[in-house]
Amino acid sequence: MIKILGGVARGFPLATPQGDSTRPTSVMVRRKLFDWRQNLEGYRFIDLFSGSGSVGFEALSRGAEQIHLNDSNRQAFYALKQNQEKICKAFSFAKDSIVIGQYDAKIWLQKEFKYSFSTSSDVILYLDPPYELHKLYFDVIELLKNLKFEGELWLESDRLKGPKKEELVELFSSVVKVIEQGDHFVVVGKLG
């Protein structure tokens, strides 16, 4: 069972997608990220490969104004909808503070991001694709650069299966922080 670690919804259990088609971000990685950035007031948070939505719901619990959770997997989409309904009911979050999508991540960026975000300086985008899909990391980052994404990118990978840290760090114009936990790491920074 996955639970929210902090903020107003601390301890709230989240439904998870059935099967093993998604991989949740580890509790320790989430804890390190959100211990570092505890208050997200004034930010909008996007998770393009949401799974259960644990990272996005954590951001909402810690004050994010709006979260956009997207996953092309049908089981993940159902879990996201279930979690949206339950957390809104339990904590009186406005329904429009949680926007759920079921798109390919690149299509989401070309449609939703391009037309729904006139500015992105107040956006944190969490990018955690399946580790073995190396090309997808680079395609999404290239698309973000083309869209002139100005916000903060949180980019998760794995030393054994995903693109290497050195390869990913080179894509950023500035790196704010690197969080490491076992073989997993998250690079936080700006692209442009």
Which CATH architecture is the domain 2-190 placed in? 3-Layer(aba) Sandwich (3.40)
pLDDT in tens, 23-52: 788 999 999 999 999 999 999 999 999 999
Q: What is the pLDDT of residues 115-130, one digit of tens each?
A: 889 889 999 999 999 9
| Angle (nearest 5°) at CA 46 between 184 and 121 | 105
- In one letter, which amino acid is 47? D
Q: How confident is the model at residue 19 (pLDDT cuts 50, 70, 90)?
A: confident
Across the chain, the runs of DSSP E, i.e. the strands, are 2-3, 13-14, 44-47, 66-70, 98-101, 123-127, 152-158, 174-181, 184-190
CA distance 88 to 20: 27
Q: Whole-prediction pTM value?
A: 0.96
Among the listed residues 54, 39, 42, 43, the one whose alpha carbon sits nearest the alpha carbon of residue 128: 54
- For the chain, how many residues are written? 192
**What pLDDT does 147 receive?**
95
Residue 153 has φ and ψ, to the nearest 5°, of -105, 130
Q: Which amino acid is at 168?
A: L
